Every structure is written in structure tokens, then in C-alpha cells.
Amino acid sequence: MGENKKRGVMLSGIQPTGNFTLGNYIGAVGNWGKQEKEFDCFYFLADLHSLTIRQDPEALRHQSYSAFSLLISCGIDPDKSVVFAQSQVPTHAEMNWILNCYSYFGELSRMHQFKEKSKLHEENINAGLLTYPVLMAGDILLYQADYVPVGADQKQHVEFARDVAGRFNSIYGPTFKLPEPYIPEEGARLMSLQDPTKKMSKSDTNPYGYVTIVEDRDTIIKKFKRAVTDNEREVVYREGKDGINNLITIYSVITGKTHDEVAKEFEGKGYGDFKTAVGEVVADELAPVRTKYLELMSDLGELDKLLKKGAQRAYEVSLPTLLDAKHKVGLLYEVLDFCKAK
């Protein structure tokens, strides 16, 4: 971590449930390593958040190792950023309870994702599903984050964190920094390759709708060749061409070319050539990620060392904010010896 106090603090987390998709890579984790140049960065596995849905314990542990490996494989340097698992840093759970007491049922029940997930998991509408935005707020506020990289559909959660922080600050005085959402201008929302009206998602029942960032080259190209387009032949970005627009966005983000430059490059060529080209540039982009990932996953002992290093640093940074909040609300806030990080 850099010690330059003028650098802003960037924080983001991702749930360790399943492999990251190309959408995760382009819209989020692929940019996280680049942000180390400008910000002090904290990136974490939101494994506590994943418990709102019933998980297979062994699968979750494997996915946590996998997701941690992917974060590093995507370019995050654990010597420059703090990379850790949420559940290994006890300040998160403790701050969650404090902030729960400054959050209101009405505002939580109006959150978009609570409504959506309640419909998807009617048999398990648990309290965590309702209050996980409070845990998310604590994740952010513990580190006095300036910015939180989110998709447009996640902006509501940052606004909630600001509301809770402002409410707490108005009662007890300056305690938490009010974070700002950080939304990339391009590529923040990739669409399904099979249904370009829907967001690309690892929960898609059609495996040809998404690309995971550790798939082999042949599989990636095959999926792009089967991407849904339209009945025209012109590679151009315009309204009504959702499938082609999605492919142009992907090609544009990876190559750095504008939409107009992409259209000019493929002028007079058919969709088949274009889809193959998109698949090839994606495969080339992801090849070193896959190689690094396989290398890391072959040594879980080394991963445990990296996880411990990240958790210790995260605890050291987040503890002062937690102790300040505990003191202000009247709790006993001395850290007892047996609670201190070893």
C-alpha cells in the first residue's frame, strides 16, 4: 500500500460464487489492477454476503480460493493493494451490527436486489437477505473509502452507505467518509451472447450466454461464433442491433478502438468474420489470466499465506474506524490481547 495521504481510497468486493465472467473482467476486476497507480486499493472476497443463499461448504471454500486467485491473475498486485477475504477480518461483522442499529427497515425493504432475490429464493427470505446492504455499507465505511467501483445497477448500495454514514455522523460527529460510486464509462455492462437484452451472468442457464475468464481458447472462440446477432450483415453500432452492439462493445474495450473504427475495420465483411475476430481478441486477452490462475491454484499453501497477509493488513487499517465508532456509541472499545491480530 502506498502511504501517500493525497491518494484516494478505492474499495470493491466480489462474491466467490462461480467463475468470473468476461463481464466481471471488463466491467470490474480487469480494471482493478490498473487503479493501483492512482488509488490506495482494497479488494476483497465478499464471502459473508454469499451466505444469504444456501451454499455447499466445500464448494464455497474452493470458490473462495478460486476467486482470490482470479483477482491476482487479473492484475491485482497483493504487494500494492490489500486483497483479502471478508470473513477473515472480524471488524466487518462487528461494524455490521453497529450500523444495523442505524438503518431502517423501510429503506432496506425498498432495495432493488432485495425485491429481486426474494422472488428468486422465496423458500429462504432470511434476515441477511434484507440487511446485507448494511454489511456492504460497513465494508465500505471501515476503510474510509473515497470511491467504490460499481455497475449502474449497484449504485443504490453506495447511496445507502452514504445515507447511513451521514446519519451516524450527524449524531456523533465526523466518523465516516461519504463514498462516491465509481462507474466506468464503457464496458460496465456486457450482455448475454445468447440474449443480448439481458446482462451477461454466471447464473445464466445457457453456458453459451457467457464466457468465463479461465476457459480455454477454443471454447471462447466457439461461444462467440454462436453469439446471437440479427438478419443484417453490417457491423455497425446502432439502435436495434443489440447483439452486434454488444460484440462491438467487447471488441472496442479490449482493442481500444472506437465504435466507428471497429465498423470501418469490418466494412464489407460478414458477421462470421467479425464474431471470430471478437472471440480471438478475447481469447488473447484472457490467456495470461488463465495461465496465472492455474499456477496459483496449484499451491493452496501459498494462497493461504497471501490471504493471511491481506487479512492482517485489512484488520490494521479498519480497526481504528471500528474503535472510533464503538467509542462514540458508548461501547467498551479496548482491544483485548486475545483479540489482537497475531
Span 228-260, pLDDT tens digits:
999 998 999 999 999 999 999 999 999 999 999
| Mean pLDDT of all residues in 143-157 | 85
* Rg for the chain, CA atoms, rounded: 21
Question: What confidence score (pLDDT) does residue 252 get?
Answer: 94
pLDDT at 187 over 60: no
Q: Are 1 and 80 in contact (CB under 8 A)?
A: yes
Q: What is the value of pTM for the model shown?
A: 0.84
Q: State yes or no: pLDDT of 341 exceeds 70.
A: no
Q: What average pLDDT does the structure give for the chain?
A: 90
117 an active-site residue? yes
Catalytic residue among 5, 37, 115, 117: 117
Supply the pLDDT for residue 128: 80
Confidence (pLDDT) at 255:
95
Is residue 342 predicted with pLDDT exceeding 60? no
Mean pLDDT of 262-268: 95
Top-level class of domain 8-187+299-339? alpha beta
pLDDT at position 180: 94
Ranking 124-128, 220-224, 312-316 by mean pLDDT, the lowest is: 124-128
Give me the catalytic one of 199, 223, 241, 275: 199
**Residue 166 in this model has a pLDDT that exceeds 60:** yes
* Active-site choice (177, 202, 308, 326): 202
Domain with CATH 1.10.240.10 in the chain: 207-296
The confidence score (pLDDT) of residue 2 equals: 45
Percent of the chain with pLDDT over 70: 92
**What would be the CATH architecture of the domain defined by 207-296?**
Orthogonal Bundle (1.10)
pLDDT attached to residue 185: 60
Enumerate the CATH 3.40.50.620 domain ranges in the chain, comma separated. 8-187+299-339
pLDDT at 310: 98
Q: What is the pLDDT of residue 203?
A: 81
CB 180 within 8 A of CB 158: yes
Determine the pLDDT at residue 121: 67
37 among known catalytic residues: no
